């Protein structure tokens, strides 16, 4: 599914506060999708839509409890502590959903073991018969330090990026990088307002799938407990 793709660039907008510093190999071999128009606030009465490069993240809805049909990668509302849905309007439309899972004893998640007490986050993006998903775990709801993204027959390993241009006092990673076969496929900044890096050799469908998953990670708000 990974192939040679289009080249697109976005100009980063200036803003205050710490920003993630992309690892050198990510920065040198990627195009950037800058975020524009994203609010700091979240919630039922906030329009959380924003531009992601020339694309748009829209229809962010955090009222997952009222939807009996809510499900992310097979996990329904009864197994989640918090959840949300959104769309990525790119060349085609992707429907995304994410959820922080309730703690369960032992077991596994997405091919790696989940220890008792760990916090787990799942995201899934769909476009017709195409689907990409992310599964992350970590010591607490603010820090998921291992994970992977599956897209078709490909698996990308997620690892946290800590380096920031200023003091990051959020208790969360500055962002994540995604690697396939030891080579960077992209990265996402979690610090507000966020941004996305996509490897220059990604094809259009892979770029959209990865960006949809990354948008879900940017929208994540740790649950209170």
DSSP classification of residue 207: H
Question: What residue spans define the domains of the chain?
Answer: 24-219
54-58, 106-110, 111-115, range with greatest mean pLDDT: 54-58
pTM of the model: 0.86
Average pLDDT over residues 101-116: 55
Q: pLDDT at position 51, please?
A: 98
**CB 19 within 8 Å of CB 178:** no
140-172 tens-digit pLDDT:
999 998 899 999 989 999 999 999 998 888 888
Q: pLDDT at position 2, please?
A: 52
Q: What are phi and psi of 71, to 5 degrees?
A: -155, 135
């Amino acid at each position: 599914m990974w192939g040679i793709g289009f080249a697109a660039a976005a100009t980063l907008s200036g803003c205050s506060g710490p920003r993630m510093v992309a690892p050198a190999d990510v920065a040198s071999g990627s195009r950037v999708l800058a975020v524009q128009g994203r609010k700091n606030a979240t919630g039922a009465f906030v329009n959380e839509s924003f531009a992601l490069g020339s694309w748009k993240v829209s229809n962010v809805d955090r009222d997952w409890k009222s939807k009996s049909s809510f499900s992310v990668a097979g996990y329904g509302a009864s197994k989640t502590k918090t959840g949300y849905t959104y769309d990525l309007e790119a060349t085609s439309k992707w429907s995304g959903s994410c959820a922080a899972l309730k703690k369960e004893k032992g077991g596994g998640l997405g091919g790696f073991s989940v220890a008792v007490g760990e916090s787990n986050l799942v995201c899934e993006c769909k476009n017709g018969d195409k689907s990409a998903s992310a599964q992350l775990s970590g010591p607490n709801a603010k820090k998921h330090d291992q994970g992977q993204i599956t897209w078709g027959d490909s698996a990308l390993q997620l690892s946290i990026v800590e380096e920031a241009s200023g003091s990051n006092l959020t208790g969360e990673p500055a962002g994540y990088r995604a690697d396939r076969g030891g080579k960077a496929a992209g990265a996402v900044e979690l610090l507000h307002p966020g941004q996305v890096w996509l490897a220059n050799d990604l094809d259009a469908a892979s770029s959209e799938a990865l960006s949809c998953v990354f948008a879900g990670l940017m929208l994540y708000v740790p649950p209170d407990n």
